[in-house]
Structure 1
Amino acid sequence: MEIRRLQANELKQAIQLSDQTFRKEEHTSMGEAFPQVFSKQLSQSFGAFDGERLISFIGVVPSKMQVGEAELNTFSIGSVCTHTDYRKQGISTAILKEVYDFIDQAKSSLLFVSGDRGLYKRNHCYHFGRVNKYKIDKVSIESKYEGSIREGSSADVFLIDDLIQAKEVKYKSSIWEWSMLFDASGYASIFMMKQTLYVAENDGVVEGYVVLGVDENSAAKRAIVTDWGGNTASLRAIFMELLKKKVVSEIEIAVPWQDSLNDELNDLPFELEQNGGTINIVDAERLIEQLKPYLVKKNPGLAKSLKIYNTDNSNVTLNYNESKITLSPEELVKFLFDFQDDAELGEMQSLFPVPLPSTIGMFYV
């Protein structure tokens, strides 16, 4: 058995194995839904081979993530699958080790994983963050927005990109990349939905946009929001218009805790959930270094005193001012990204938790 990155001419095997594992006949192919996973240009996905036959696969996708003034090097993995004849032999674990080595060499600080099964938990991947999950129906929403709502078009591409770039916490993307992911409908395709775009416009200015996955073949017409941006009042107006005109019957959206859209929707019921999938801290020292511009803006003195050191047993030691604490990998994820008792964080609550974008939706891997 040989474990290595796939070559361009081997990606067809990866798509076939992924389709066999994750897709039914009515689904679109994984190759169409997740082009970044099977990209011959990126060429960063790994597989295990028995001779020339691909028997196990892990899709690997790099992303730049913006958190305030900071820019993080991150990777995501998905489409993790093994042929039925080769399962329960530790092959995925062996590939994951190679992936970990590769993303460390690439100077990544975080790895996002779409799943939470034992393979990931054994390798220091943990649940993280917080989102407010809303289910909005036609009787529970009102809006006083004065603009108009319409379906988006390709002519809106620059205006939408302006709204995307204005976000303080986001996956960084070009116009081309965003358009590719919009067309692919990756996350929405899991539910056999296709993405569609709506915008709110006022005096010729696009003030907000919403991307929804909608199952046009279903009488229920449930919609999942996969991306959004702009003025929060305009976003609420889009939701109301779609429900009022019965374009959809129910809208589901998971809003990260830091997003101001929560203030706009604060009269609606929601459920608290953690962000999608799990997270692995590739290198704690590197992560804090990449986060420094964001942390310094939050609390300059405390951030500059913050030092973190990797130890031999996967734990880390964190120093700040006159304090020193030792954390396990799971405790570090909780410390950095989860909400804790103020008494536990002390003065560190001025820096943490670190906000992250939603890991489900347009950029789901």
Structure 2
Amino acid sequence: MAAEKIEFARARAQDVARLGELSDSVFRPQLIPGTGMPKEFPLAFSAENAHNLYFAAVDGRPVSLVALYPSRLVVPGGHVSAVSMGSVCTLPEFREQHLASQLIHQILTDFSPHTSLLLVSGGRGLYRRLGCVDFGERVEADVALAGLPAGDTEWVVNPVPEPEAEVAALSRLYAAEPYRYERSEAEFRMLLRSLRTPLFRMRPVPPQVFAAWSRTGDGGIAAYAVASFVLHEGRAGVEILEWAGRRAACPAIWRYVLSYYGVEVLRVRGYVHDEAFLDALTQAEAILRRVPNQGTIRVLNPSRCAMELRPYAASVFGAGFSFEPRGEEAWQVVWEAPPALRLPEERKAPLIAGWAALSEWLFGSQGLCLTLPHTDDLNYV
């Protein structure tokens, strides 16, 4: 019997449909092939993004897939180039052949010259062996209906029946957020459309967009939230997948959403530096905790990463920095000036060895802990 021929390739537009079916066969086997993952993650599974779908084929049949979507992260002072990775899968009968590992190694080679960061949707051992680490911290809060004020005369909250028709207004609110992805209105429209897929991110009820309007304002949307019915530890609850806009309107949205779904607890996430958001949570008597970002991260290009992070670092520490190579996979941190904020000596100018240590120094809770946009908002890949 002839040996099976394995080929590795980047997809073309005509390959996208069958790669979507491959992804569904692993992640959404209960759905008609092609109706799940490709619809839930339209930015990745599009003809325009085909070249960023890496796959292995056996005798012409796709058996392993790694999906990517390049993006730019907005942080204070600038932008950071990144590529998000997800939908990593291999058909059961072809596992243990390290096909996905070979695809990811090729991805590292292809993207390192021009991309600062790799964002990964999970934390499997496969990713950690390649230097991916947990990163950053965010605030996660459980808001109970009992802790919210009984009524709010300033805000009117309602579901948005046709979110795509309001994409211009929603996009303006999102674009005002200090941490976010660069997102065009066309991309936002695709993401809003994805909420109607049969099993959006394994949720039994399609997510809904809610918006708040000021009773005394100009009539425009002041804030929005994308909410989803979920089960928290066996109890019915609601999770906010993404939100933006006026922080003062958040409690009114939370109360309306809790009443809309008929549940007692809502889970929402925000940034540790967002004082107005934290104040709203405190007034709502929410239970707060700090948790790591979803997924893992790896630096791809140290010099480019330092250059793109320089304005951000300067705004936080009073100085930018650079990485000077010190042999293979080792770098010396060089600050442009002494950091204005006090840092332990080992964080100021360490000699860093290894990709995991480099990524940890920049984004880990024991390093600089630089904040990046949430990886599980609507841009999730």
CA distance in 2, matches of 1:150, 1:109: 40
Q: Is it true that 1:268 corresponds to 2:286 in the alignment?
A: yes
Deviation at 1:214, TM superposition (A): 3.1
One of 177, 181, 184 as aligned partner of 1:171: 181
Greater Cα offset, 327-336 or 111-120: 327-336
Deviation at 1:313, TM superposition (A): 3.0
Greater Cα offset, 316-325 or 41-50: 316-325
One of 184, 191, 205 as aligned partner of 1:181: 191
- What amino acid sits opposite 1:335 in the alignment? W
Asked if the contact 1:145–1:233 (Cα under 8 Å) also holds between the matched residues in 2, the reply is no
Deviation at 1:247, TM superposition (A): 4.8
Greater Cα offset, 108-117 or 264-273: 264-273
- Aligned residue for 2:273? 258
CA distance in 1, matches of 2:356, 2:206: 36
- Aligned residue for 1:338? 364
CA distance in 1, matches of 2:325, 2:101: 23
Q: How does 1:64-83 map to 2 (within 5 A)?
A: 64-83=72-91
Partner-residue secondary structure (3-state), 2:158? strand
Q: So what's the TM-score if we normalise by structure 2?
A: 0.84
Deviation at 1:179, TM superposition (A): 1.7
Deviation at 1:86, TM superposition (A): 1.1
Greater Cα offset, 244-253 or 40-49: 244-253
Identity %: 24
- Aligned residue for 1:91? 99
CA distance in 1, matches of 2:97, 2:327: 28
Asked if the contact 1:183–1:195 (Cα under 8 Å) also holds between the matched residues in 2, the reply is no
Deviation at 1:145, TM superposition (A): 5.8
Q: Is it true that 1:225 corresponds to 2:235 in the alignment?
A: no
CA distance in 1, matches of 2:240, 2:194: 15
CA distance in 1, matches of 2:29, 2:118: 28
Deviation at 1:215, TM superposition (A): 6.4
- What amino acid sits opposite 1:327 in the alignment? I
- Aligned residue for 1:19? 24
- What amino acid sits opposite 1:332 in the alignment? L
Distance 1:24 1:56, change over 3 A: closer
Q: Is it true that 1:32 corresponds to 2:39 in the alignment?
A: yes
CA distance in 1, matches of 2:17, 2:144: 42
CA distance in 2, matches of 1:96, 1:156: 38
- Aligned residue for 2:351? 326
Deviation at 1:175, TM superposition (A): 1.3
Q: So what's the TM-score if we normalise by structure 1?
A: 0.88
One of 285, 301, 313 as aligned partner of 2:303: 285
CA RMSD after TM alignment? 2.5
One of 4, 7, 19 as aligned partner of 1:2: 7
- Aligned residue for 2:129? 122
> Matched residue pairs, number?
349
Partner-residue secondary structure (3-state), 2:146? coil
- Aligned residue for 2:54? 46
Asked if the contact 1:316–1:326 (Cα under 8 Å) also holds between the matched residues in 2, the reply is yes
- Aligned residue for 2:210? 198
CA distance in 2, matches of 1:259, 1:25: 40
- Aligned residue for 2:3? none
| Structure 1 portions without partners, runs of 5+ | 346-351
CA distance in 2, matches of 1:335, 1:270: 26
Partner-residue secondary structure (3-state), 1:3? strand
CA distance in 2, matches of 1:114, 1:271: 22
| Structure 2 portions without partners, runs of 5+ | 1-5, 339-347
- Aligned residue for 2:370? 354
CA distance in 1, matches of 2:316, 2:292: 24
